[in-house]
Chains A and B, each alone.
Chain A
Amino acid sequence: MADQDGVAALERAIAEASEFLARIPALDARELEAGFVRVLGRKGGVLTGALKALPSLPADLRRELGARANRLRVEIEAAHEARREALRRDAERRAAAGLDLTMPGRERWVGAAHPVTRVVDEICEIFRELGFTRAIGPEAESEWYNFGALNFPADHPAMDMHDTLYLATPEEPGPRGGRILMRTHTSPVQIRTMLEQAPPIRVVIPGWVYRKDTFDPSHAPVFSQIEGLVVDEGVSFVDLKATLVHFARRFFGAGTGVRFRPSYFPFTEPSAEMDVQCALCRGAGCPACKGTGWMEILGCGMVHPALYQACGLDAERYTGFAFGMGPHRIAMLRYGVPDIRMLYEGDMRFLRQLA
């Protein structure tokens, strides 16, 4: 009798659950959850209760009905989950239909590094791929570091290229002293690096340099420079060219034309200027490149033996190369900035444009 009742209850539960399962795709959220609790609720669900009573049934019935009931449970659970998901998506769609999605989104302030900083970082990163690390040095320097050790002859016209700001402080005594000035280039850090460490040397040197120069659209009294220095045994002019051509193509684009022209710097020999094909006219000649089709990008050369001597390195054993470029000028080219002064103004509109 008890068996009969149990079997009947189980069959009723299966019937009710089957009927619920069939209705699931049409139910709304409230009906779905209510029905699910009625059938499969942990306390009092009809199918849950029937499944709990299974052990009391005869083995043969238990097997057959139990399997059916369990299968049904799994199906209901899956259908319930699927319906829930469908309803959620429906709700979203309905909610969205009430919004004007052409209205603007909610912004947050976004800042950025200075355009020149970003150019500096990009350049340094390219050289990092070639094994260079970053070195720096002081902006106030002695004459020896800025000129003497770099093979600038005293009272030479080469000094005309470096209109120098001096400090009203006493001279620094000693062989590496002299008047104190605001460095006119980052090259003193070449000397500091060679004094501090033995080759192999592979550094890039970003920094600020000073000239006694008034502001105009293409000149600033204080501007950034990136210097590079490589010193080791067996470093040659071919390595200089290869390294800098690699840099130029990474920075300006793979197909960029590059040329090296002889030039003069007291601290390198042979010295060169590296030009890249004018990005505006692609070499055809335009006002930006003064009609030459080329843009002067950096100065470079093989480290002059006098520098090794100044730093106590063997000039017959070691060779190396150095280069220097102006990130301000490169940033102006890259971002199309017509006047260098804009890079010193801090105008929020300008900074946001170039962010």
Chain B
Amino acid sequence: MNVSRRWLEGFLRRPLDARDVATRLAMAGAPVDAIEPLAPGLEGVIVGLVEEVRPHPNADRLRLCLVNDGSAERRHVVCGAPNVTAGRKYPFAPIGVTVPHGKGGGPMTIERARIRGEVSEGMLCSARELGLGEDQSGLLELDTEAAPGTRLLDAVPVGDDRLVVDVTPNRPDLLGHKGIARELAASYRIPFRLPAIPGSPGATSPTARRVDGTTATIAGLRFGIEDRDGCARFLGARLRGVRVGPSPAWLARRLAAVGVRSINNVVDATNYVMHELNQPMHAYDASRLRGPSVIARRARPGEAVVTLDGVSRTLTDEMTVIADEAGAVGVAGVMGAAHVEVTEATTDVFLECAWFEPRRIRRTRRALGVSTEASYRFERGVDLWGGPDALRRCIELIQATAGGELVEEPLDVWPQVTYPPRIFLRPARVTQVLGVELELRELERCLTAIGATVVSKPADQRIAVDVPGWRPDITAEIDLVEEIARQHGYDNFPTELRPFRVGLRVDAPLETAAARVREALAARGLFEVHTLPVGPSEGPESVQLLNPLSAEEAYLRQRLIPGLLRQVELNWSRQTRDVRLFQIGSVFRTGGGPRPVEETHVAAVVTGARDPAHWTDPARIPAPELRDVDHWDLRALFEACVALALPGASVQVDGAAWVARTPEGRIAGRAERLDAEAPPWAAPVYGFELILDPAPREAPRFRALPATPAAERDLALILPAGVAAAQVEAVLRRAGGALLERVEIFDEYRGPSLPAGTRSVGFRLVLRAPDRTLRDAEVDGLVGRVVAALERELGIALRAS
């Protein structure tokens, strides 16, 4: 909502500071997003009185003027304007001042000059030079009592500020200057009233008379309501002898200040009322209405209307139109039709002032894909009871600016009269919600400030509050409590912490589990990232969005890895080779029903150097890629993460990958080398993804630490093709029995010195008896049995040293 500071000053009858207004409105619940000074750059321009005009000795078209600028001296000014006259006041830009539009179109700074031999000490300005209009035919004559030297901005009402007010959807009343003025008046604690209209003796027209039934007729023009669901009230007035023409400057300027283009005096009058009282109005050229009639009715399916913007719009029977006997002359509450508009030729004007059902307007304008100043207001709710005043105001304006006589009296079609609600407020409830006890007098002050009528009934311990019609948002007691808090001032409530009862809920286990995993992965050098949870389809189980932003983001993600890989590729594109990322986030898949299955996953990707390079690293490692992360780093990372994220699960080999299998046998995670769009210098990418199980992790248990020494034996074993280390270990464990504490692999060798297809793997056996020191003979015997078992079961031989 654009608000003019000067318009507000008209309501409050005092000068206002735009910044102060902005602060007060913010504290009333309507923050100001921007303050835009209008007619900027006029700060240095003053009122100049031309005391003497003489011809220029060297130029026919130029005159020499003596200007009184309020100082003791007089300024000599060379001026080319034909209308410069001694004894008149004009805007005067002294030396050093910059005016908005110089000869080249941009700002121009006035300098002492010699023009055709004569000194010029400033400039008398036209409207165009000051950015106040297009008129450059002569100087802007000032009709002011202000003394020479007065700031132009203080002398004449050209300066204004536009305040862009952020109005919340519950406050339609703040979409008119009157509503804003009401809030400010309450804030300043001063009265306010409608500004006087220049040239008007005041509203003289009678208040619209309510008629029975659903239609009314003014001098043969029938208007009214056929669609009672869409239109509750329809006031009409007819003026003849109207002289349509340009609006007076003050009206055009006022509309310009709120960002509305001046059309003509009649249309401008309707727009003025809309911005003042939040009541959209419509003016028709009555001579062009067929019938003549103006009826609010449901649109016929497929009915078309060409609206003011030149667009042909096809309507449905869910919409309300305004129609004459030939068809629609406007989409009710949204936009009128071009062919019945008021033009320069119009003399017979019919004024419509209606109340349309907010939801109907909202659905209509959404279906049509347009939003207008009128629809914006109707869908938020205009004052159902404010129509008569708005109509009178509009008639007053038209008569003041375009003349014309009322034909008969304005009429009011209102089939079902209703009243604004009366709500009972219990002061005890105010105390319960707001936490402080306010005096009855303060409650009444707060409620009166919003325009409510208050009847206290202390005996009942409640107050009867008649809500004003412009506040459709107030429908219940709690709404009044808010108004009291607002008018009392949010900052006037204390902020001391009072005793409270703690909640009895424990932290969400998933959050706790996520924190545990996050900490562990960060400690292993990985960075947490966030990826967008939408993307392309990942298969038949992908969950589709009904109204995605783009086709590439039409599905919810099923896995985190693809998003992480895109981030790895982004890092590569920025020449970063070492990338270690993880994410904990939601994934979705179709579950058959309306709701998708939603799970929390943990995923990580790693590529590049295992450790940061250091100057002590051997200069020539036979293969530099040995420094890069490989399968074995992935395995350890995966196992560590599984231990935290999936308590009880085990890591198993599955083809070229590892999987995490839960105790129930479900595969809940997978780790492998990943494919990516890699530049040639990039290292391989490894990654894993698993389900985050919110089950708490069991605390580890203490076992007695060994008190006896261990014996170690290294075995270099020749493993035939197809025999896996895990198989060897299983045999070792079985044959080794209780004394075999640990098996470690310390080496692998493949090479020409071994039989083809075999490899040598170094196993270290750590043996220990809990109660005694093992003797060499006992250890040797055990190792002998183990070797024999390997030979027997897997065909494995000891490598000859």
Contacts and interface: CB of A to CB of B under 8 A. Distances in A.
A111 interface: yes
Contact of A236 (B433, B544, B546): B433
B578 interface: yes
B597 to A, nearest CB: 9
B508 A157 contact: no
A261 B511 contact: no
Contacts of B525: 108-111
A295 interface: no
Nearest to B527: A351
B379 interface: yes
Given A167-B596, A197-B504, A237 B433 contact: yes
A155 B378 CA distance: 13
A157 B379 contact: yes
A114 B168 contact: no
Interface stretch (B386-394, B579-587, B776-784): B579-587
A246 interface: yes
Nearest to B22: A292
A72 to B, nearest CB: 38
Contacts of B547: 165-166, 212
B169 A156 contact: yes
A276 interface: no
Contacts of A261: 26-27, 29, 31, 490
A213 B532 CA distance: 13
Contacts of A94: none
Interface string A319-355: 1000000000000000000000001111111011001
A139 interface: yes
Given A114-B529, A134-B508, A170-B594, A238 B498 contact: yes
B543 A169 contact: yes
A298 to B, nearest CB: 14
Contacts of A132: 503
Contacts of B507: 133-134
B611 A109 contact: yes
Interface string B546-584: 111100010010000000100110110010101111100
Interface in A153-177: 154-158, 160-161, 165-172, 177
Contact of B493 (A172, A230, A241, A351): A241
Contact of B482 (A197, A230, A271, A355): A271
Nearest to B571: A348
Interface string A130-158: 11111110111010000000000011111
A203 interface: yes
A302 interface: yes
Nearest to A132: B503
Which secondary structure dominates chain A's binding surface?
mixed
Interface string A100-112: 0001101111111
Interface string B507-520: 11011000100110
A109 B235 CA distance: 76
Given A167-B543, A237-B434, A344-B531, 19 more contacts: A106-B616, A113-B522, A131-B503, A138-B595, A140-B588, A140-B595, A155-B359, A156-B359, A168-B546, A172-B595, A200-B502, A201-B503, A237-B485, A238-B435, A260-B491, A261-B490, A270-B434, A344-B529, A346-B531
8 contacts: A157-B362, A167-B594, A170-B593, A172-B593, A238-B495, A260-B490, A302-B433, A343-B530
Among all A-B residue pairs, the 3 with the closest Cβ atoms = A236-B435, A109-B525, A346-B567
Interface of A: 103-104, 106-114, 116-117, 121, 130-136, 138-140, 142, 154-158, 160-161, 165-172, 177, 180, 182, 193, 197, 200-203, 206, 208, 210, 212-214, 221-222, 230, 232, 234-239, 241-243, 245-246, 259-264, 269-273, 290-292, 302, 304-305, 319, 343-349, 351-352, 355
